[in-house]
Structure formats: C-alpha cells, structure tokens
Structure 1
Amino acid sequence: MLSPETRMIIKSTAPVLEDHGVAITTRFYSRMFEEHPELLNIFNHANQAQGRQQTALAKTVYAAAVHIDNLEEIMPAVIQIAHKHVSLGVKPEHYPIVGAHLLIAMKEVLGDAATDEIIQAWSDAYGVIADAFISVEKSMYQTTAKQENGWNYFKDFVVARKVKESDVITSFYLKPADGSNVPTYIPGQYISVRVSIPGEKYTMIRQYSLSQASKPDEFRISVKREADNDPNGIVSIYLHKQVNEGDRLEVSAPAGVFVLDASKTTPVAFISGGVGITPMMSMFETVATSTPERPTVFLHGARNRSQHAFDEDIRSFVNRMENASYSTVYSDEENGFITRAMLEEHVDPAGDAYVCGPVPFMVSMIRELRNIGMDDSRIHYEFFGPAMDLEELKSQ
C-alpha cells in the first residue's frame, strides 16, 4: 500500500509526465539497452525504431499517475499487457532492471524538477505496479504450465504445411517437434513466434493470431507479408521467403484477451479489415461448428480480390449455418468500404461485434457501431502492436 503522501506526490507529477513522458521513455529504453543488450532479444526492434513502444510506455506511466488512488482502474490494461509479457517470456528478474533505468531516465530528463522526494515516491509506486504485473504473470505461467500439453516460454514446432491464402497472406500449420499435442485455446488468442534471422544479432519475436478453431494437434497462423522497405516486415518476409515445410520455429503458448464468448447464442458480427481477418477465422469457425444456429454476420474489407484471404472457407461455413450472412468490400473499387449504412443493414446492435484491422479501420468501425446504437460493452476489439489509446485515436 502506498501512503497518502506518496500518492499525492505521484498525482502531482501527472501533468509533467503528460508533457515529457515520451522523452523519459525514449531515454529509458536507450539507457536500458546500452547496459542490458540481451533484452533486445525480447523487444520489438521495429516498434522501438518507430517510437511506438516509447509512446505506449509513456501512456502507461501517465495512466498509473492519474489512477494512483485506485490502481484497479488500470487492471484491464495490466492484464492485457501481462498476456503480451507472458507470450514474450518476460520474467520477474526483468522488473528491477526496468525500474532502475526508468527512475534514472526521469531524473535525467526532468533534472532538478525530479526531486529526491519525487524519485522516492515513484520508486515506491513502481514497486507496487511491478508486483501487480509479477503476480498476474506468475498466475498465467502456472495456469499455462498445468494445462494439458501446456508449457512456459518457448517450445520447438515444425512447419507441417505452408499454404498461400492470398497474394499477401500465407498460413503456417505448426505441430510440436516432440510429437505431442497442443493445448486448447480460446478463439481469438495469439502465439509468439521467435526466430533467429541470418545476419541479425538478436532474436526477433512477433505475435500472430491463431487463425483456425482449436485443434488437438496443431496451430495455424496466417502471416501477411509486409513491404520490403517496411521496418515491421523483417520477420514476415523471413517467414514467407525462408521458412518452408519441415523447418522449425520457436513458439509460445497461446495468450491474449481479445477472445470470443462462445457460451452466447445471441447475434454476433465479425468485422475485419485486411489481415485483421486472422483472429476472426478462429472465432467464426468456432461459432460455425459449435453453435451453427447462432445469428452470425461476417463483414470483411480488403484492398482487392487478390489480397482477400479465406473467402472460400468463409462461404463454405456460411452455407452450413442456419442464420449466417457474409459480405465483402474492396477499397480499390468504388464505394469499397464498410459504411454505417452497411452496418445498419447487417448488424444487430443488441448483439456483439468483434472488430480487428488497421487503426483507421478500427476507429471508423467502433465509431459507427456506436452510431447505430451498439453499447460499448458489446463492442470487442484489438489493435496490432503496442497498447494504444483508443479514445485519443477516435477523437482524431
């Protein structure tokens, strides 16, 4: 527990953190990687280069300052981040390293304004927040390890099949190298894939949604190949060009909180853009096979037909369902976007909607779902990449 005096000091720093947070986190990462370059085996280098990770951390620190009187307010964010940490293999011993360099960075950026009293208050607060993460992640690790066929950290898998789904998306069917089965996962979850790319000094880790309903013996991920000049594309290009059937990949256990509530039988809509279709496939297939009578809508937007993955699969499932519809739009064509009118025609605002895709697509869909009368509690979504401030994006 933090003392009232400590909480008061933390709250007083919120405006400063709002103004200087990114400068602090940028300095923090620079310092930490200088002294602990081994941590570059965990962090996404592209997000670092683009400043996305620095911005995400700055917002998290600011939110902690604002909600220091009631840290329960940020627990949903803690749990979401903890899932990401577990998928990356973050360990308790990493937290003291992060804390030490974060405090030093605060002092270096803020100078004399970061008094000893302020630094001590943030040291105490960081200890409380770190303990919360460690506790949540310990529970996750224990649950994962105890699950049938479960494991912690990374395990060798073999690429059993490699299937091209569209001009830009390829599926990889992964089976444990030891011949065991895989754990059951919740539709919508993801795994991490860790690779050692020739010529790169550090390993690289990326999260990929599991793109089929849970199967006993395999995972499937469906990876979009990014452009050659995209810093985010180094792993996807490696998977597409260099990884073939029979090759091995290191894989983490399933994680993630953007998941289907499969217990419901009320109307549900899956709304995706581009590669955002991948988590929808595991959700949709689960509904199609376990509750085929559930009223279901699938709306998907792609750039064009050649980049549209899983079209035949979705149509096949729809044909076997009792009350399902499927519509697609292509942005390269006239009026090729999912609009409010389209949502009004197909989506029942009394049901649930699951949304995934590029940031502008997400912002538009969530705004329009609200406009047709859907309550926030029924709109489920996930962004790719670091945690982002949805409210800020929707105000743009």
Structure 2
Amino acid sequence: MTPQQIELVKATVPVLRENGVALTSYFYNRMLGNNPDLKETFNMGHQRSGAQAQALAGAVLAYAENIEDPSVLLPVVELIAHKHVSLNIKAPDYSIVGENLLHSISEVLNISMDDPLIEAWAAAYGQLADLFIATEKAIYDQHEQTKGSWLGWRNFKIAKKVVESDEITSFYLAPVDGGPLPKYEAGQYISVRVFIPELNLRQPRQYTLSTCPQADYLRISVKREDQKGDMVPGWVSNTLHSLPEGSEIEVSAPTGNFYLIDPNKRNVFISGGVGLTPMVAMLNQLVTLDMPQPVTFIHACRSKQVHAMKQHIHELKAKYPRLHTVTAYEFPHASDKLGEDYDFAGRLDLSIIDRALLPENADYYLCGPMPFMAAQHKALVARGIPAENIHSEAFGTGGVRH
C-alpha cells in the first residue's frame, strides 16, 4: 500500500466507528443475495440476530486502526483462520468477499468505484486476504500431512448418544468410511453441518471435542437450547439433539489453537456451564499420561441437574489424588448436597479459593460465556497470576465457539 492509500484508509476510521454495522449488514445482504450458496457456510442465526455484522464491523475497524502495522492482529488472524479452515473456506472465496465489500463501500458511501478511497480499500483488503490465505494454507497443509485427517467435509454417523445432564448430551461420531481418525490436541474443535428444515439449508457450527483422541470416534457434548421469548434457539444444537443414533452428519477435521500447552506443568482449568468440554478433554489427556503434575479443576454451573460429566470427574478424583476439584452452584436445589455435589453456593468467586490450588507458575485455561470469562480473568490477575499464563476460549449457546 502507498502512504496515500494508508492515509485514506485511516481517514475512514470515524465513519466505521459510527456506521460500521450498517455497512457490514449491507455487505452481508448483498453478498448472500448474489451468492446464496454461501448461506450454507455462514451462520444464519448470527445473520438474523446481527451478531455477524457486528463482529465483522469490529474486525474491519480494528484493521483500519492498525493499517500501518497489521502484524498486531496476527493472533486474531490465526484464530479466525482455524475457523475458516473448519468451514472449508478457500482462496477463491476471498475474491467474492472482496468484490462485494468494495461495492458495498461504494454504494453505502455513495461514491464511484473509481474513487481513490475504493482503490485504497482494495489494496488494504488484498493485503489482509493474502495474510489469511497464507495462514490458512499452512493449516490446510498440516491437515494433509496428518495421518487420518482430511480436507472439507466427511460423513460421520452418530454411533451413540449419552445424556450428560438435563441439557447436555454427548454425541459419539464414527466415520462412515471406516477410515482412521487423526490425533488432535485436546481442546480443539470440529465443525458439524446438518440440514435445518426451518431454513431449508445445511448449517455449520463449531463444537469442542470433549475428550482426548480416540481410535474410532470423535466426541462432542452439546447443550440443548430452550426458546426464550422471541429468540430463536440454537438451530444446529437442537437439530443434533433431535437426531437418532445412526443418523449421518457432515464433519470437518479437528482444528483450533486453544489446547493444552504443557502437560508436564501445573494446570488449572476453570469453566462455566458447557464450557467444561475442552477442560474435560484436556484432563482426559493428562490422565493418559498418569497426571504428571497436580491439577485444579474448577467448574461453575447453575445446579446439579445441569452439571455435566459430574460422575466422570468424581471417578477421576477418586483415582488420582493429584486432581483437586472446586464446584460452584449458582442456584443449588434443596436436594443438592453441599460438600458432596458442590463446594460453594452462588457465582464462582476465585478470591476465596485456597491459594495452593491457584499457583502463580501454573497455566490457566478459561472457557465459558463472555461475562464469566472476563470475571475470572480479572480475578486471576488480581491474585497475581501473570496474564501471559491465562488462556481463554469463549463459548456461546450450545457449546458453540466464538
């Protein structure tokens, strides 16, 4: 990009702050109208709620604000690149996005496609697209080199369903072709694609693999969503719950950059609700290594009725004295037993947890809803835990990753 183009892009920052969501909403309507096949790639629930337009507006603004040094955005680029790979997004797709984005800027701002601002944003978008394409190529190459992995979508059948709580069910997924499965990092995820009758479309969603690598199945643990007022419940999550054993779905290969970094280090897992799924996967990986270091497993949920995998954790704790657990029930039922089912009533408060369970030299893994994550991160920093030791993954409804 030329210095003049950089200045032109920077000059659009105030406009993006004020009207970014209007621009990205227009862009999505334009692109999906011109390319309806892409509706099976994008989350139409987030399209209807406006969440996707808001997220893109924030991303475009961040890019414009850092146009002189886009390298500061590399961690975010890597995060998004893994999701793009899980959705089988390829280099030609960036041309479609770019064309519609530039025309949207032209049409929303009522300027000619020959305007220098459009030329500047074309250069900016090309620079960003090249960054994503290169990052994603490295991930695709890794899949091609990993035994048992695959590119694109692969048919799996629901071999078994196991009810884990009143809301969460585990799905054991076996490849229809009977071929091998890859070894993946505990904490990574897959994309699942199913047909949604209400939309007359296939829709993808990302779900964490809820156990460490197994020879003949992948496992996800999905929360069923109830209708809340006019809010549309999770289309994919609820469709999965309705499918019987033996049903076939489409699955992408395991990917993602949130996973257990060092099994030989002290590790602390802190989860809220269905956010415990990557934590159970990481814990199960440590079990395969005979739990080399003490582990703290902290979980918060509403009550025993929605406490998934409680028995599994209880059995591991009985077998491994190095495993220390803390459970908080926000709304314990009268039948829930303090000291047996849970340790604290109310919201999780790390300030009252024994300091020995939260060592400064440990790696910390957080997963759950955004407000939960923010509260726990703040509490850990207040207790002297270095921010660089805190790793987080945000979940939305149904265990869907953001």
Conservation of the 8 A alpha-carbon contact between 1:82 and 1:133: yes
Structure 1 match to 2:256: 256
**Residue type matched to 2:105 in 1?**
M
Structure 2 match to 1:240: 241
Q: Distance in 2 between matches of 1:341 and 1:8?
A: 47
Q: Distance in 2 between matches of 1:154 and 1:75?
A: 27
Mapping of residues 52-131 of structure 1, within 5 Å: 52-112=51-111, 116-131=115-130
The answer to which of 130-139 and 147-156 deviates more is 130-139
Structure 2 match to 1:366: 377
Shift of 1:342: 3.3
Shift of 1:94: 1.1
1:148-179 CA distance string (max 9 Å, x none): 01110100111111100000000010111111
Q: Distance in 2 between matches of 1:213 and 1:387?
A: 18
**Residue type matched to 1:340 in 2?**
L
Q: Distance in 1 between matches of 2:267 and 2:95?
A: 44
Shift of 1:104: 1.7
- SS of the equivalent of 1:93 reads helix
Whether 1:326 aligns to 2:325 is: yes
**Residue type matched to 1:88 in 2?**
L
1:121-150 CA distance string (max 9 Å, x none): 000110111111112112211211221011
Q: Distance in 1 between matches of 2:5 and 2:364?
A: 42
The answer to which of 37-46 and 325-334 deviates more is 325-334
Conservation of the 8 A alpha-carbon contact between 1:10 and 1:122: yes
Whether 1:181 aligns to 2:192 is: no
The answer to which of 352-361 and 228-237 deviates more is 228-237
Shift of 1:100: 1.2
Structure 1 match to 2:313: 314
**Residue type matched to 1:212 in 2?**
T
The answer to which of 26-35 and 15-24 deviates more is 15-24
1:358-389 CA distance string (max 9 Å, x none): 1211111111111111111111101135997x
The answer to which of 345-354 and 153-162 deviates more is 345-354
Structure 1 residues 10 and 173 mapped into 2: Cα distance closer, same or farther (>3 Å)?
A: same
Structure 2 match to 1:349: 360
Q: Distance in 2 between matches of 1:199 and 1:371?
A: 47
Conservation of the 8 A alpha-carbon contact between 1:56 and 1:387: no
Conservation of the 8 A alpha-carbon contact between 2:330 and 2:347: yes
Q: Distance in 2 between matches of 1:93 and 1:256?
A: 22
Shift of 1:356: 0.6
Shift of 1:197: 2.8
- Give the gaps of 5 or more residues in structure 2: 333-343
Structure 2 match to 1:392: none
Conservation of the 8 A alpha-carbon contact between 1:295 and 1:324: yes
Shift of 1:16: 1.8
**Residue type matched to 2:96 in 1?**
I
**Residue type matched to 1:237 in 2?**
N
Structure 2 match to 1:31: 30
Whether 1:15 aligns to 2:14 is: yes
Conservation of the 8 A alpha-carbon contact between 1:169 and 1:222: yes
RMSD between aligned residues: 1.9
Output the TM-score relative to the length of structure 1: 0.93
Structure 1 residues 104 and 166 mapped into 2: Cα distance closer, same or farther (>3 Å)?
A: same
Conservation of the 8 A alpha-carbon contact between 1:294 and 1:322: no
**Residue type matched to 2:259 in 1?**
V
Mapping of residues 39-58 of structure 1, within 5 Å: 39-58=38-57
**Residue type matched to 2:158 in 1?**
V
Output the TM-score relative to the length of structure 2: 0.91
Conservation of the 8 A alpha-carbon contact between 2:263 and 2:292: no
Structure 2 match to 1:394: none
Conservation of the 8 A alpha-carbon contact between 1:150 and 1:182: yes
**Residue type matched to 2:301 in 1?**
A
- Give the gaps of 5 or more residues in structure 1: 389-396
- SS of the equivalent of 1:249 reads strand
Shift of 1:338: 1.1
**Residue type matched to 2:280 in 1?**
M
1:317-360 CA distance string (max 9 Å, x none): 22232422011111113842210323454311321110111121
Structure 2 match to 1:198: 197
Structure 1 residues 127 and 153 mapped into 2: Cα distance closer, same or farther (>3 Å)?
A: same
**Residue type matched to 2:237 in 1?**
S
Conservation of the 8 A alpha-carbon contact between 2:364 and 2:389: yes
Number of residue pairs aligned between Structure 1 and Structure 2: 385
Q: Distance in 2 between matches of 1:164 and 1:324?
A: 24
Percent pairwise identity: 41
The answer to which of 116-125 and 315-324 deviates more is 315-324
**Residue type matched to 2:351 in 1?**
A
Structure 1 match to 2:339: none
